[in-house]
A and B are shown apart, each in its own frame.
Chain A
Amino acid sequence: MKELIEAYKTVRPNVTVNPVITSSGDINQKLTVALATGTGPDIMDQDASFYELYYAKGVLEPLNLDVFGAKSYDEIIARYTPGGIAAGTFGGKVYALPYQGNSMSLFINNKAFAAAGLDPVKDAPRTWDDMKALGPKLKIVQGTRTVQKAFDFPYHSPRWEVQMFQPLVEQFGGKLLSDDGKTVYLNSPEAVKALTLWRDVTKATGDPKTTLNTPSNPNQDFIDGRTAMWVTGPWATSQIRQSAIKDGFTVVSFPQVNPAQPHTIVYGWMWGVNKAKPAAQKVVAWDFIRFVLSKPDEWLSKVAFVQPVKGVNETAVAKNFPFFDAHMKDVATASWYIRSEYTNEISQAIGRAVERTVYDGVDPKASLDQAQAEIDKILKY
């Protein structure tokens, strides 16, 4: 980012750019409070699922078409992969643009597979049943201690729990939110099947009580060799290559209930402009966003972020990026992470339901009924 800022300064020497660095865990609180108190930044960098909330609160400035040399918002939308900027489009207008739209794919530790006499490509699980079958071969328990998990779902943050739960629900033919984002379906038959699957796969492959993953190090268990398989985004590639695993990993598509009808998830981070700023500053803000987003291959080569723009897979960088096709295959069948004014509340209710079932053995239906009741109360209120 620093390089891009410096490059922008050479193009617009009169513009000053002051980046404010905040951890991803704190950005939501800090940004919202700053926007409310009138001290918000010109440009906001936020998880895509929050833009629904910001739009509802009226703090977003629509994209400046002149700056992007476009005649209509449809022209902007057409520059992206289908649904690529859906999270930043409201009422036909574009309010935010993504600098990363990440698939969630299955990363496999080749060494762990080899030790179990498995081939990471040929024996990779295509379905959740395959995953359960691999459990006994890859899970290593010494006495009462789990030394290596075959696979584990995430438990370090509700948002990650939703990243896994949402595609499971969709794989069973359900959805978590109505199309208008106003109705939540947490205890639908499909959601119950999804949580039941989660619990059963966990029993066969994982041990959620032993995780060292944290919101700042979500891939820790995989990097440490504590789990043989882990679902994460392409951005984890550089982190994994710098670990002891180095290039000893394989990426395959997100496991499915029915591979003939695949459903995966994509989530990302976007940039939007603060409506409360003076008109001239807002023009410059969009100009800066246009400039830094104009080099998707640099984003991919330097930080492994995939911009959902058309043609990104044709670049030389993409062709050399490890398992880029596998990531793109998952993007092609992905829905965006749920977007609602109440994303946080819904995520937390789902997280609690998952933890009740996995940690406390509560029946999936009962756990999701409770989650639905919790969220209904919030929406009603």
Chain B
Amino acid sequence: MYPEARAVKLAWTLPTVRPGRSIARRGRWNLARRQAAFGVAIILPTLAVLAVFRFLPMLQALYLSVTAYDLVHPPRFVGWANFVSLLHDPLFLKSARVSVTYVVCSVVPVLPLSLGLAVLFNQSVFVKNVLRSAIFMPVVMPAVVMAVVWTFMYQQDGVVNTLLGFLGIDPIPWLRSSATALWAVILIGIWRATPYYMVIFLAGLQAIPADYYDAAKIDGAGRWGTFRYITLPLLKPTMLLVIVMNVIVAMKVFAVPMIMTGGGPADSTRVLPLFIYQTAFEFFDMGRAAAMSVFLFVAVMVFSFVQVRLFTRGEESR
């Protein structure tokens, strides 16, 4: 953070010391304590909301994961049985594989695409704002609406196959073949995520001081050199944010496969969150569903931790 920014923040967070208060009182409540108390007071409501609606359900899920619970009878403690059985359950393992495929194949292309678009829209482009807004539209569209629209677009006579027909390609049964259904769902994930992360990259690009580019220009750096040695390194924190956020969002994808395919054909699009939902609310096996949630949670945590370590390794050594 730049020193100016830190100063501004400090000034904002400091409570004003009113004249007339005793030195003793001010001594007891020294500046650091008062700052801390003020900080706690500010975050307390948010913490309370998080505790009730996030942390308590998470703890509850952790507890349920070691029980057998059918929603009607009280939970019965079963120890690690849910976890052990999941590791030998081919449906769970297949669902986990589908989720991993979805995450990898939807996250990897989003990175260059969103960065490329951000770099493009950071330049002087004709009707830049109109184009930016148009590209951002998938983000504001509700997932349910988007899923329904894409379902029609993927039909035999839909827009996608009609366009492919112009290229002489036969209609593809996008959502009706286990060979293509997951790719169809992944394509939507990419289409929806790219503009969102483009905006984040754009913010990152605009935070890079113009002085660096001016200096590089004077030193005779070309476009690629400037991008490679100035833009990319300074975008590293943004990139970390984008990857971690994108992976978390992709791991939790639910609405689109639920609406478009229901997890089929033959489970080819049954991502883990969808399987968790079905196990909990169709098979009424809350304990098993909670155990799957714990697996998902651990997977997200491990991945995020590894990403943060990888991205900060170089900085620590400096």
Contact = CB atoms under 8 A, between A and B. Distances in A.
B284 interface: yes
A355 B72 contact: no
A208 B265 CA distance: 11
A57 B70 contact: yes
Given A33-B281, A344-B283, A355-B264, A209 B72 contact: no
Interface stretch (B28-36, B85-93, B105-113, B187-195): B85-93
A210 interface: yes
A145 B156 contact: yes
B145 interface: no
Nearest to A156: B262
B266 A36 contact: no
A344 B277 CA distance: 13
A145 B164 CA distance: 13
B282 interface: yes
A157 B262 contact: yes
Contacts of B178: 355-356, 359-360
Interface in A336-381: 342, 344-345, 348, 351-352, 355-356, 359-360, 373-374, 377-378, 381
Interface stretch (B119-127, B169-177, B238-246): B169-177
Interface string B291-302: 000000000000
A57 B90 contact: no
Contact of A208 (B85, B176, B281): B176
Interface residues of B, number: 30
Given A208-B176, A374-B90, A374-B91, A36 B72 contact: yes
B266 A352 contact: yes
A345 B288 CA distance: 14
B155 interface: yes
Give chain B's interface secondary structure class.
loop
Interface string B271-286: 0000000100111100
B122 to A, nearest CB: 43
A151 to B, nearest CB: 17
A345 B283 CA distance: 7
A381 B176 contact: no
A144 interface: yes
A381 B264 contact: no
Contacts of B89: 377
B71 interface: yes
Interface residues of A, number: 35
Contact of B156 (A209, A373, A381): A209
Contacts of B90: 373-374, 377
Contact of A359 (B70, B91, B177): B177
Contacts of B171: 144-145
A212 B71 contact: no
A29 interface: yes
A348 to B, nearest CB: 8
A355 B284 contact: no
B9 interface: no
B281 A32 contact: yes
A212 B282 contact: no
Contacts of A146: 156
A33 B281 CA distance: 8
Interface of A: 28-29, 32-33, 35-36, 53, 57-59, 144-146, 155, 157, 208-212, 342, 344-345, 348, 351-352, 355-356, 359-360, 373-374, 377-378, 381
19 contacts: A29-B281, A33-B281, A53-B284, A59-B72, A144-B171, A145-B156, A145-B157, A145-B171, A155-B176, A210-B156, A212-B155, A344-B282, A344-B283, A348-B278, A356-B178, A360-B265, A360-B266, A373-B90, A377-B88
Interface of B: 70-73, 85, 88-91, 155-157, 170-171, 173, 176-179, 262, 264-267, 278, 281-284, 288
